[in-house]
Structure 1
Amino acid sequence: MDAETRDDVRLEAVLTRLETVLHEENRRIGRDVDFDLKASNAAKSRCLYDLTQIARAVDNQSFSATAARRLEAAKGLLVENERKVGAHVAAVRAVSDLIKDAMREAEADGTYSAEQYRYAEF
C-alpha cells in the first residue's frame, strides 16, 4: 500500500469515527438526560486531533475526491454541533442564573442574613 492510499485509509477511519460521534452528540444533546457530554467531547477532541495529525503528515498533498467530500460533510456536522453545543451551554447558563436569582431572593425574604447579622451592632 503506497503512502497516499494509507493516508486516505487513515483519513476515512478518522472521519467515520468523527461522523459517528458528531451524529450521536447532535442527536442526543439537550434531549437525553443520560447523555455523557464530557465523554462525547473527549471522543470528538481525539478525532479532531487525529485528523490534524493526518493533515500534517500529508504535507499539502491532495486527498482523494471521496475524502475531500467527506471532509466537507464533516465540516457541516461540526458547524451544526457548534450551534447545538452553544445552545446547550446558553440553556445551562440561563438555568444557573435563575437558580442564583432565586437563592438571592430567598435570602432577602425579610429575615436577617448571616452577613447582616455578623455586622449588626449590639
Structure 2
Amino acid sequence: MLIASLKRLDATVSAETEALLAHRPIDQDAVNRRKGQSLLELTRLTRGLDPERVDPELAEQLARLRRSLQRNQEVVGLHLRAVEEIAEIVNDAIQDAESDGTYSARRRR
C-alpha cells in the first residue's frame, strides 16, 4: 500500500512537471489537492516505519520520487521566476503610462 501511494504521488508530480514543460494548461488547485492528499496518506502509512529496515523496492520508489520532486522544484521555480519578471514588466509599463515623469527620477521610455 505504501509503494502504491508513493507511485500515485510520483505520477501527480510528474504530470505537473510535464504540463509545465509543455506549456499546457493545468488545474493547479486539483494538482495541489492530490499532492496534499498523497502527503496525508504517506504520513499515515509511514507512522512507525523504521528507516533502517526499508526493503529495496521501497527504497527504489523513494529514490524515484525524490528525483521527480527535485525536477518539479526546478521547473516550478523557473515558472515562478518568469512570472516575477512578467509582473515587473507590467508594473513598470503601468507606472510609465500613468506618470508624466514630473515627480520621478526615472526616465520615460
TM-score by length of structure 2 reads 0.80
What SS does the corresponding residue of 1:39 show, helix, strand or coil? helix
Specify whether residues 110 and 68 from structure 1 end up closer, same or farther in structure 2 by C-alpha distance, changes over 3 A only. closer
Aligned residue in 2 for 1:85: 76
Q: Check if 1:14 corresponds to 2:5.
A: yes
* Cα distance in structure 1, aligned partners of 2:78 and 2:101: 37
* Max Rg structure: 1
What SS does the corresponding residue of 1:58 show, helix, strand or coil? coil
* Cα distance in structure 2, aligned partners of 1:101 and 1:110: 13
Aligned residue in 1 for 2:105: none
Q: CA RMSD in A?
A: 2.0
User: 2:74 is aligned with what amino acid?
Assistant: R
C-alpha contact (below 8 Å) 1:23/1:77 kept by paired residues: yes
Aligned residue in 1 for 2:46: 55
User: 1:68 is aligned with what amino acid?
Assistant: A
User: 2:30 is aligned with what amino acid?
Assistant: A
1:32-81 deviations in Å (ceiling 9; x for gaps): 1x211222122122212322222223254623210111001101100111
Aligned residue in 2 for 1:72: 63
Q: Which runs of 5 or more structure 1 residues have no equivalent in the other structure?
A: 1-9, 112-122
* Cα distance in structure 1, aligned partners of 2:18 and 2:85: 22
- Give the length in aligned residue pairs: 101
Deviates more, 1:52-61 or 1:101-110: 52-61
Q: Which runs of 5 or more structure 2 residues have no equivalent in the other structure?
A: 103-109
C-alpha contact (below 8 Å) 1:28/1:35 kept by paired residues: yes
Moved over 4 A (4+): none
* Cα distance in structure 2, aligned partners of 1:89 and 1:71: 26
C-alpha contact (below 8 Å) 1:29/1:37 kept by paired residues: no
Quote the offset at 1:110 in angstroms.
Answer: 6.2
* Cα distance in structure 2, aligned partners of 1:110 and 1:61: 66
Quote the offset at 1:18 in angstroms.
Answer: 0.7
Aligned residue in 1 for 2:85: 94
TM-score by length of structure 1 reads 0.72
